Amino acid sequence: MIPSPFHTLVDLLRGRRVAVLTGAGCSTESGIPDYRGPETRRKARNPVQYQAFVGDEAARQRYWARSAAGWPRFSQAQPNAGHHALAAMEHGGLLTGLITQNVDRLHQAAGSQRVVELHGALSEVRCLDCGHQEPRTAVQQRLDALNPRWTARPLELAPDGDAELAVSTSAYRVPTCLACQGVLKPNVVFFGENVPKERVAAAWAVYDAADVLLVAGSSLAVYSGYRFVLRAAKEGKPVAILNLGATRGDVHAQVCLSEKLGTVLPALADALLDPAQDLRRAS
């Protein structure tokens, strides 16, 4: 009998130390859109570029107006079954850690402890001039206070806490740093910005401690995540990919499984943490 991809996945991971790389597909079942999923890749997205945000006041107005509209729903998102399954696998000693491209901190909310946030977290805001940080909740309060008559409703929630708006943002007022009146930026890596070296080093430490790499919910379109698959292929380290739809790392993977993560990750956790589980329900 030819084994199912799920059984092949279990056999690949069982008895091995696993490093997990997660992407936006891990949080779509929590209501947070992704950029390149089956339902979203055909939609045109216009995320702010780092150089535009730094150098253009209008770009900052546009970003903060959209982000302020999207923040309430984004901040209320809760971990889904996939997040909880990964946390259970870590607590069970199966994982060397999580490397995530997500900025929502849902892994930590689910109980994961060793999490390297490649792209930072939206819950923090940093001054580009003096480095002072404050919680995003506090900045949200200041955004609302500066724009009391701002009534724009989000047409649609977009990736990374952004929101589509149908109104001009030219009159939107943006707060400055409390310490030096400098430019505030969410403590995340924008498009066109480099991931900090110390963060990359921490991610490589998670990768190096593992025998196999599991990619969960990433199309691997962004090099910051794809680099781990490329290195695994070069070193002969096995790769498994769980993602709805094809990824550019599929050619390097020993097994690919296109299923909802909220379904397959709990089944995977059950199978690896309790080998007596009946695996047929996930086949």
The residues with which 120 forms a beta bridge, in sequence order, are 188
Q: Helix or strand or coil: residue 141?
A: helix
Residues with Cβ within 8 Å of residue 204, at least 6 apart in sequence: none
If you search the block for the tokens 């977290």, which residue do you land on? 121
What are the structure tokens assigned to 106, written together? 């849902």
Active-site amino acid positions: 119
- CB-based contact 205:17 (threshold 8 Å): no
- Measured CA to CA, the distance from residue 242 to residue 219 in angstroms comes to 10
Question: Which pair of structure tokens corresponds to residue 207?
Answer: 């990768």
Q: Which residues contact 124 (CB under 8 A, 6 or more apart)?
A: 133, 134, 135, 136, 186, 187
